[in-house]
Chains A and B, each alone.
Chain A
Amino acid sequence: MIQRYYLLGKPNSGKTLLFNRLTESEKKVANYSGATTVENKALIPGSQIELIDLPGFYSSEVFSDDEKLALSKASQTQNADTGFLYVIEALKLKSGLINALTLIKKLSIDINKVQFVFNMIDELELNKINLPQNEIESILKRPCHFVSALTKKNLTELKMNLLSLDTFPNLSIEDLESIQNNLSSLKLTPTSSFALKNSTRLDRYLLSPLWGSVFFIFIMSALFQSIFSWSSPFMDAIEWSLSGISQGVAGVLGEGFWANFFIDGIITGFGAFVIFTPQIFILTFIIKCLEASGYLARATIICHKSLRFFGLSGESFIPLLSSHACAIPGILAAKSIKSKKEKWITMLCLPLTVCSARLPVYALLIYMFIPPIYYLGGLFGSQGLAFLSLYLFGITLTLIGSFLLSRTLIPNKGQDPFILELPSYRWPEFFNIAKTSFKVCIQFIKDAGPMIFFANLGLWFLAQFPLSQTQFSESYLARMGRWLTPLMEPLGLAWEHGVALLTSFLARETFVSTLSTIYSSKNDDPMALKELLIQSQSLTWASGLALIVFFAIALQCVSTLAILKKELPKKFSVTMIFIVYLFAAYTLAWMTYQIFS
């Protein structure tokens, strides 16, 4: 009796979407090869059967980690309770089947355990092609399922079939040969022109030497600048509701210790960070739309040559782009890079890109220092452009880092075995993507929330005690904070920033909430953090820049360090990586302050 099914197939054949549909999961689906780099497991609801989604692979010759993983699982055929679902794109049925049968033979996969799933039949229907389903099944002599994971067509039947016991004739190796022979005589409507039509309409421009580069730069700048421009109304709305809540609490509790505690200690601190979730939403939304569209594979080609100069390759592009949302999915995406050295360099330098946890800090500084001015009827704004330049700064640091690494510690002059299949362009499902992006934001709050809550609570108490204090500067917090002065002074920063920098090692977002708690304890009027900071005049241009530089470089995220430890070979000590990043952050921040003050 089959207990588990592995999903095999070429990259981008729709395995993960099928997995998600059959097991009601939400694993990452994207329209390029190499979206899945680890195995996903889940039970089919209402049964004891486990479904395991694997990275896709083309060949028995594999180079990257994700393909190696898939191959090693596919070769485990000795277990009697294991079956395989071979997923093949319906529009590429014949070449897909030839490839599948070659691999089944080569990897000695027991053909009697394989069922074929022809996915994406919605695309066949769109192009008005009929498949001779019965003929295909009689040639293959194995269960064949014609489904669409996207429209869910025939998925219920597939599920029922997996749960029931099928009796099919037992096939031998010789039968496999005859299947291969019969397959070559199978006549199908040629489908090659559809792939071509889908691509040429757009790629004529998007891959052309001139317009391709222009469009690439336009898309990337629009991405980073819209995070800022589009989020303002949502941020205003959140700010408005937070102040409403504060007033409500004040109305109920009146004035005094507890009101103070709730308003300064919790709502202000928490709000200082929650207010930036619209930006995270927009960033995630746009990146996911790009992933679903099929454009990212084109972008990979366009920047391959330039990235190679910096010791990376086109394959590093998607990991680097994803790391703008969070470094962790970026590092996982880097597992599909074929060259080992390029993979290491990508993983080591990718924490320098601007991840969304840095967003609140940057956004706060921009709101403080850059007055909003709009150009071209609001299409571009000064704050959005400042934001874009911070992203460019992160990318520049990443490239400098990889350039240096590839010329010193990880010499990478090797070959350039670049080969990539281009997916068809597809319309992103905007509504579903919006839903996922919303969940990402909730998760973001959930992840950083407890940390921020407890850090704020601790800080607030330290700021309130001893109760005998007459001034804030006598509080425990101020007394302890002043120990940090010698470290902060060279950067032009005050001890308050020092405390916030310390807590930001718990989670980067804590920086804004800490500052907010400290300054609102100092100040009796309830105000947004931005105004508090402006009023306190504690930050100058030069010290603001130093702060940005420190934040841009320091690797403060424990989860990133943990995953680096897991994914990099032992010779890279994670402690060393942390120290090097910290040292570089402090030194460069110091230099920045000295130059600009």
Chain B
Amino acid sequence: MTLWDLNPNQHAKVSKLGLDKAISQRLSDMGFSQLTDVTCLFVTAFGGPRVYQVGESLLSLSREMAQNIEVS
């Protein structure tokens, strides 16, 4: 399952970042590291970026990013 598959208010744990090295590094510096809990909060119109809660932060990711983050 990927992050993009989460419905609003659904929780999961990040299991793998399938993006290139630089972006993965940046994501994990922003809080998306392995085993962290994420919650999908808001889904916007037309497949636009979605909003997730990671720890104390709210982060918004585009489809391309969220589809490459595996969660379980």
Contacts and interface: CB of A to CB of B under 8 A. Distances in A.
B29 A212 contact: no
A270 B51 CA distance: 50
B42 A60 contact: no
B25 A59 contact: yes
Interface string B49-69: 101010111111111110000
Contacts of A207: 42, 44, 51
Given A60-B25, A102-B29, A416 B48 contact: no
B46 A419 contact: no
B57 A59 contact: no
Contact of A209 (B30, B31, B43, B57): B43
Interface string B7-27: 000000000000100110111
A179 B8 CA distance: 37
Complex A-B, nearest 7 residue pairs according to Cβ-Cβ distance, in ascending order = A59-B29, A418-B62, A209-B45, A422-B58, A305-B48, A59-B26, A92-B56
A91 interface: yes
A contact residues, range: 35 or more
A417 B45 contact: no
Interface of A: 58-61, 63, 91-92, 94-95, 99, 102-103, 191-192, 195-196, 199-200, 203-204, 207-210, 212-213, 297, 301-302, 304-306, 314, 415-422
B58 A95 contact: no
B6 interface: no
Main secondary structure of the interface of A (DSSP, over half): helix
Given A195-B53, A209-B44, A415 B30 contact: no
Contact of B48 (A95, A195, A302, A419): A302
Contacts of B57: 92, 95, 195, 421
23 contacts: A60-B29, A63-B26, A92-B55, A94-B56, A95-B31, A196-B53, A199-B41, A207-B44, A209-B44, A209-B46, A212-B44, A301-B49, A302-B45, A305-B45, A305-B46, A305-B48, A306-B46, A416-B65, A418-B60, A418-B62, A419-B30, A419-B59, A420-B49
Main secondary structure of the interface of B (DSSP, over half): mixed
B61 A208 contact: no
A416 B63 contact: yes
Contact of B61 (A204, A302, A415, A418): A418
A135 to B, nearest CB: 19
Contacts of A302: 44-45, 48
Nearest to B22: A61
Contact of B59 (A192, A208, A420): A420
B29 A99 contact: yes
Contacts of A416: 62-65
B55 A192 contact: yes
B29 A301 contact: no
Contacts of A199: 41, 58
B62 to A, nearest CB: 4
Nearest to B29: A59
Contacts of B31: 95
B42 A208 contact: yes
A421 B59 contact: yes
Nearest to B49: A301
Contacts of A191: 56
Given A417-B23, A417-B65, A418-B61, A58 B56 contact: no
A202 to B, nearest CB: 11
Contacts of A422: 51, 58-60
A280 B29 CA distance: 41
Nearest to B25: A61
Contacts of A103: 29
Contacts of B26: 58-59, 61, 63, 419
A191 B58 CA distance: 13
A7 B42 CA distance: 33
Interface in B26-41: 26-27, 29-31, 41
A420 B65 CA distance: 11
A99 B68 CA distance: 23
Residue among B23, B53, B58 with max Cβ neighbours from chain A (10 Å): B58
Contact of B56 (A195, A208, A419): A195
Contacts of A95: 31, 55-57
A210 B45 CA distance: 7
A304 B25 CA distance: 23
A61 B61 CA distance: 17
A109 to B, nearest CB: 15
B45 A301 contact: no
Given A99-B29, A314-B49, A422-B51, A417 B64 contact: yes
